[in-house]
Each structure stands twice: as structure tokens, then as C-alpha cells.
């Protein structure tokens, strides 16, 4: 992971484990944008991170439902191409995603959101601001 981060030019990122649950894993918003843009090139990552829910059958024949923790992927007003939420107490609630807003591809990085739903509200406010701002500017 660290080798790939260097390849992507993520100079301020360091991983000590692959779970994402260690506070010693560090990055910056700028580096996370680079990671989102790189991950977007993988169709399975796009699919798995934007599927609202998935049901799997267990070995004993029961089924388990897994739900995407980014509820925006269920919202028809959003065109999300890639999404990842995260939480550890040291980093707070985080969200990175690629979306199409006002006919433009954008990457949103929200770090250390205060409340459980703050990152969702912040993303909606960013979307609304971008739509009103970009609607006045020509593409290009």
C-alpha cells in the first residue's frame, strides 16, 4: 500500500495496516483525492463502493444483509461514481467520493465530521453550492 501511495504521488500518506483502523495510518485531503482518482479506474471498486446493499448467504443457509454506510448512494439526486466512508475516534467520521455534479466530475473529501450525519449534510451542502456556482460558469 505504501509503495502504491508513492506511485500515486501521495507524499503525505503512510499506512501501517490494511484495515484502516489504526490511528497510525495517516493521509491528507490532497492525497486522498489522488487515491480516489486512481481507484475510480477500477470498475469493481466503483461497483462495490456505490451498491446500496448486498445480501449474502452464509454456510448455514441464512442470509446476511450488508448496507452501504454512505446513504447518498441511494439518493437519486446524486450521481456517485465511487464512495468510501470511515470512522475511528482519532480521525472522526470521514467520507471520500467521486461524483458528477453540474456536469462535472468532482472529488469530495470530508475529514473529521462532527456528528453521525454531518458528513452527509456537508456533502449535500457542497453539492448545492457547486450546482449553483457551476451553473453560472461555462464548461471548459
Chain segment 68-115, per-residue pLDDT in tens: 999 999 999 999 999 999 999 999 999 999 999 999 999 999 999 988
Q: Are 44 and 25 in contact (CB under 8 A)?
A: no
Q: Judge whether residue 138 has pLDDT over 70.
A: no
Instruction: State the sign of the Cα–Cα–Cα–Cα dihedral 136, 120, 72, 5.
Output: positive
Per CATH, the architecture of 31-134 is what? 3-Layer(aba) Sandwich (3.40)
Q: Would you list the domain boundaries of the chain?
A: 31-134
Q: What pTM value is reported for the model?
A: 0.90
The predicted-structure confidence for 7-45, as pLDDT tens digits, reads as follows 999 999 999 999 989 999 999 999 999 999 999 999 999
The CA distance from 115 to 117, in Å, is: 6
Q: How many CA atoms lie within 13 A of 106 on its CB side?
A: 17
Confidence bin at 50 (pLDDT 50/70/90): very high
The CA distance from 74 to 103, in Å, is: 19
DSSP one-letter code for 44: H
Q: Judge whether residue 139 has pLDDT over 70.
A: no
Q: State residue 32's pLDDT score.
A: 98
Q: Coil, strand, or helix at residue 107?
A: strand
Q: Judge whether residue 140 has pLDDT over 90.
A: no
Amino acid at each position: 500500500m505504501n509503495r502504491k501511495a508513492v506511485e500515486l504521488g501521495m507524499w503525505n500518506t503512510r499506512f501501517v495496516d490494511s484495515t484502516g483502523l489504526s490511528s497510525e495510518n495517516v493521509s491528507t485531503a490532497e492525497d486522498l483525492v489522488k487515491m480516489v482518482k486512481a481507484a475510480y479506474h477500477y470498475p469493481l471498486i466503483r461497483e462495490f463502493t456505490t451498491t446500496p446493499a448486498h445480501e449474502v448467504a452464509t454456510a448455514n443457509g441464512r442470509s446476511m444483509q450488508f448496507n452501504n454506510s454512505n446513504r447518498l448512494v441511494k439518493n437519486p439526486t446524486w450521481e456517485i461514481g465511487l464512495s468510501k466512508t470511515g470512522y475511528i475516534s482519532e480521525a472522526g467520521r470521514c467520507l471520500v467520493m467521486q461524483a458528477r455534479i453540474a456536469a462535472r466530475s468532482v472529488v469530495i473529501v470530508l475529514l473529521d465530521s462532527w456528528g453521525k450525519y454531518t458528513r452527509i449534510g456537508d456533502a449535500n451542502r457542497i453539492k448545492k453550492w457547486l450546482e449553483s456556482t457551476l451553473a453560472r460558469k461555462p464548461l471548459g
